[in-house]
Structure 1
Amino acid sequence: MNEKTRQRRPAFDREAGVAIAQALFHERGYDGVSLADLTEAMDIKPPSFYAAYGSKAELFERAMLRYAQENALPLDDLLAPDRPPAEALSALLLAAAKQYGRHSLLRGCMITEGMRANDQVARQMARNLGNGGLQAIRAYLDQVHPRGAQALADYMAVTLRGLSAAACNGMSRKRLIEVAQVAGRFLSREMDADQSTSAS
């Protein structure tokens, strides 16, 4: 076979590789995906992998950024300043519950679950990305409900992470939504009580 008839291997698509990695990391978690899993799914050799992405952790960060671009909860819309705060926070929890349980394999929040990775570098990457959303929630509460803002922000963080973990453990979308609705009712009572106390 001469040079003219020999078929060339298609050029490796790095962004397609990130999409493949994103699905694997989301389904199995960072620790559950090996380098061999990644290279096999992308149909490349380890040297090509390192040339394209640097390391597994660096690819994980790119995959999380891609996930965030596609799946980030619309905080600006949900936490609109003209919306009653309890209603806004309840809507955020409900949106998260619906998203985390919508897919049979890609469950929970990829970034939230990445915060529990055994690898310290990957874990810190996930924390850095996840903290942005939590800081936005805290900033919102500082504006609309400064009394007890830190406790409410912590409550939101714990509830969102709990919804993600429950989704990953197989809780149905219907039950996740019901949990979010219960949490929303608690928020309404708690914030109404705070307002009554501060007004008296």
Structure 2
Amino acid sequence: MNEKTRQRRPAFDREAGVAIAQAMFHEHGFDAVSLTDLVDAMDIKPPSFYAAYGSKAELFERAMQLYASENALPLDKILAPEHPPGEALCALLVAAAKQYGKDTTLRGCMITEGLRADDEVARTMAETLANGGLKIIRAYLDNVQPGNAQTLADYITVTLRGLSASACNGMSRKRLIDVAQTAGRFISHELADPQD
């Protein structure tokens, strides 16, 4: 075969590689996806992988950023000031439950599950992204429920993470939503009680 008839390998699409990695990390978790898994799925060699992404952890960060850009809950709309706080917080939990259970393969929140990575660098990256959303929720609670903001923020965080873990463990979308609605009723009841 001469040079004229040899077909050139198509250029590697880095963004497509990020999307491939996102799906793999979301389905299996950071620790369970090896470099070999990634280069095989992207049909590239390790040197090309490192040239494109730097490291597995850096690719994980890009994959989480892509996930967030496509799946982040619209907190500014859900927690808008015109909505009563009890309704808004319930809507937040229900929206999360719907999001976490909408796909039968890519279940739960990729960023939340990234918090459980054994790799410290990957875990720290997930914490940084997760904290952005939690800060928005806490700022909202500081405004609408200043006397009880920390406890409510903790309750919402634990509930969101529990919904994600339960989705990953196979809980149906309907059951996730039922749990979210129950938690929302509890929050509404708490907010209805006068605070000391």
Q: Which residue does 1:96 correspond to in 2?
A: 96
Runs of 4+ in 1 over 3 A off after TM superposition: none
**Shift of residue 144 of structure 1?**
1.2
| 1:8 corresponds to | 8
RMSD: 0.7
**Amino acid paired to 2:74:** P
Partner of residue 106, structure 2? 106
Q: Where do 5+ consecutive residues of structure 2 fail to align?
A: none
Q: Using the alignment, how far apart are the partners of 1:133 and 1:161 within structure 2?
A: 13
**1:63 corresponds to:** 63
Question: What are the equivalent positions in structure 2 for 1:90-169 lying under 5 Å apart?
Answer: 90-169=90-169
**TM superposition shift of 1:197:** 3.9
What is the TM-score when the length of structure 2 is the normalising length? 0.99
Kindly provide the CA deviation profile for residues 48-106 of structure 1, in whole angstroms up to 9, marking residues without a partner as x: 10010000000000000000000000000000011100100000000000010010100
Q: Is the 8 A contact 2:147 2:195 kept in 1?
A: no
Please say if residues 97 and 177 of structure 2, whose CA atoms lie closer than 8 Å, have aligned partners that are also in contact.
yes
Residue of structure 1 equivalent to 2:84? 84
Residue 2 (structure 1) shift: 1.7
% of aligned pairs identical? 76
Deviations 1:12-38 (A, max 9, x none): 000000000000000000011000000
Alpha-carbon distance between aligned partners in 1 of 2:188 and 2:69, rounded to the nearest angstrom = 30
Aligned positions of 1:181-192 closer than 5 A = 181-192=181-192
Question: How far, CA to CA, are the matches of 1:100 and 1:197 in structure 2?
Answer: 33
Structure 1 portions without partners, runs of 5+: none
The DSSP-based 3-state class of the residue aligned with 2:82 is coil
Match of 1:147, SS? Answer: helix
